[in-house]
Structure 1
Amino acid sequence: MIKLVLMDLDGTLTEDRDSTRIDLDAIYAIRLLQEKRIKVGLVSGNSYPILRGLYTYLYLDGGIVAENGCIVFYKEKYRLCKQMDKSLVIEFKSLFKLRDTWQNEYRECDFGFVPAKLTDEMINWAKEKNLYIKSSGYAVHIAYNAAGKSVGVEKLLQLQGLKKEDVAAIGDSSTDIELFQQVGFKVAVGNADDELKDIADYITSNKSGKGVREFVDKLLKGELDVIK
């Protein structure tokens, strides 16, 4: 029996991959899980304050993995990465003529910039500075030692005393591949990146938030083979 469902935010709980509007069907799906006493948690590249606010007002209880694994919350907050030197953030943005994502003022370890296209020059700069660099498809991210969603989720499961087999996850982008490494049942929404679909146990017919509702309906009806 699944005890915890971990959900990505952008492109998963939202109405589409280019939208920041949370789908009402996704919220309803969360309520359905909660009625069955299945915990719901958030795993995202978003900053901790943003996810903490959503977590509180959606009345979730399954924990948070923020900043691509650097920040974990379950009853209390844990930082798994070194805080970023702001001078490097300014240098990177200026050198490559990028714009801060609006959440950078709230970030601690993993900083994002747009446009999201990652270039060889950026990769070489990051290598010289001994920094992690990756594009999520929404932004280019840099960090000293980004934990990755896999490390953050592993910590979250340890805090709750759960095994991989107890957990399902749903996402949309290639950054969720690391999330999938730590769970027993993997779900990609219908408009997810092909790399994620390739390793998913189930791909929804519907996109983003509607796909979340589809997955939850099938899970609670016993129509998915979640036993490994």
Structure 2
Amino acid sequence: MSTGPASAEPPAASSVPSSTQSFRPSFQPSFPYKLVATDLDGTLLGEDHTVSARTREALAAATAAGAAHIIVTGRAVPWTRHILGDLGYDGLAVCGQGAQVYHAGEHKLLTSVTLDRQLAALAISKIEAEIGPLALAVSRDGLDGDVLVGPGYRVQEGPLPALVVDDPAELWSAPLNKVYIQHPELDDDALALAARATAGSLVAVVMAGAGVVEILPLGLSKATGLSLAARRLGVKAADTIAFGDMPNDIPMFGWARHGVAMANAHEDLKAVADEVTASNEDDGIAMVLEKLLLG
């Protein structure tokens, strides 16, 4: 799931082609899970950054059958709220790769884990000593935390706004929930592998999407955030089905009873998934939920 900085405002929800098939069961369906956990980018969202009508209806049918839907995303809260609002979502959401448990209905952070900035700076210095200079961006903590982009960091095209700063010291001037790293030559997988090998005893390193390698507090993952949220909902791992597309979803799959990778997922996630569905563009979530609802 991509969670990296970008430069444009989020697009308005687009209409769904008339050929999309709606799922409207004529009976009250049963459903084998109490919790449906979905990643956002590359999973729940299409390439237009919206949720299709078919997927909305399938999720609504699952919740009508007694399941709760929870979004589990690498995006921090400020980059997630507009999507939650568009969905009419007022429950708990796990944001920031598990760092934040957010109550959408109350607009309140229930938990927030910050990254030790001194430890992160040490980790980055160790990585740079091994593979050379990195370009950095950071996500500041809080309900309104900005994403700041430092010199040389390549900003992705997309709907997520970021602030460009000229002074690298400004990146470290306020509490953070993550640091984004880029390398001028290494691809995402190679960079994540090198960073983890060099500084994995100090911080967690995840690859969350194309061009998005992140440094997080050691031990933090989507699974830790999801387990906290599930506990608040009174739901267990054995009651959970999870959907994702990137290596940062691996811990969530390890925690949940059933992990479903999208057809567009990274091969590392497919390797540990219990099931592979269609892509996010082809309503892969809806296809699985509809089948489960029909028994």
TM-score, length of structure 2 as denominator length? 0.62
Shift of 1:162: 1.1
Larger radius of gyration: 2
Determine helix, strand or coil for the equivalent of 2:135.
helix
Once residues 190 and 129 of structure 1 are traced to their aligned partners in structure 2, the CA distance between those partners, rounded to angstroms, is 33
* Correspondence list, 1:142-181, <5 A: 142-145=215-218, 147-181=220-254
Deviation by residue 1:107-145 (Cα, 9 ceiling, x = unmatched): 940233557625389728973994433322330112343
Unmatched runs of 5 consecutive residues or more in structure 1: 223-228
The alignment's C-alpha RMSD in Å is: 3.4
Query: How far did 1:84 drift?
Result: 4.7
**Runs of 4+ more than 6 Å apart:** none
The answer to whether the 8 A contact 1:7-1:13 is kept is yes
Which position in structure 1 is the counterpart of 2:266? 193
> What are the Cα deviations for residues 171-193 of structure 1, in whole angstroms up to 9, with x where unaligned?
11121111112211211122222
Q: 1:120 to 1:146 in 2, by over 3 A?
A: closer
Q: Which residue of 2 aligns with 1:99?
A: 154
- CA 197–97 in structure 1, closer or farther in 2 if over 3 Å, else same: same
1:217 aligns with 2:290: yes
Cα distance in 2, alignment partners of residues 128 and 172 from structure 1: 23
2:38 is matched with which residue? Answer: 7
Q: Distance in 2 between matches of 1:169 and 1:81?
A: 25
Mapped to 1, the partners of 2:70 and 2:38 lie a distance apart of 6
Q: Which amino acid aligns with 2:60?
A: R
Partner of 2:179: 111
List gaps (5 residues or longer) in structure 2. Answer: 1-31, 125-132, 137-149, 164-174
Looking at structure 2, the residues matched to 31 and 125 of structure 1 have their Cα atoms a distance apart, in angstroms, of 43
Are the structure 2 counterparts of residues 104 and 182 from structure 1 closer, same or farther at C-alpha, using a change threshold of 3 Å?
A: farther
Q: 2:66 aligns with which of 31, 34, 37?
A: 37
Structure 1-normalised TM-score?
A: 0.77
Q: Distance in 2 between matches of 1:120 and 1:42?
A: 25
Give the 3 Å change call, closer, same or farther, for CA 146–53 of structure 1 in structure 2.
farther
What's the CA shift string for 1:22-52, capped at 9, x where partnerless? 4343223222223323211111111112223
Counterpart check, 1:60 vs 2:89: yes
Cα distance 1:123–1:113, how it changes in 2: closer, same or farther (>3 A)? closer
Judged with a 3 Å threshold, the aligned counterparts in structure 2 of structure 1 residues 110 and 213 are, in CA distance, closer, same or farther, namely same
Q: Is the 8 A contact 2:192 2:206 kept in 1?
A: no
Q: How many residues align?
A: 216
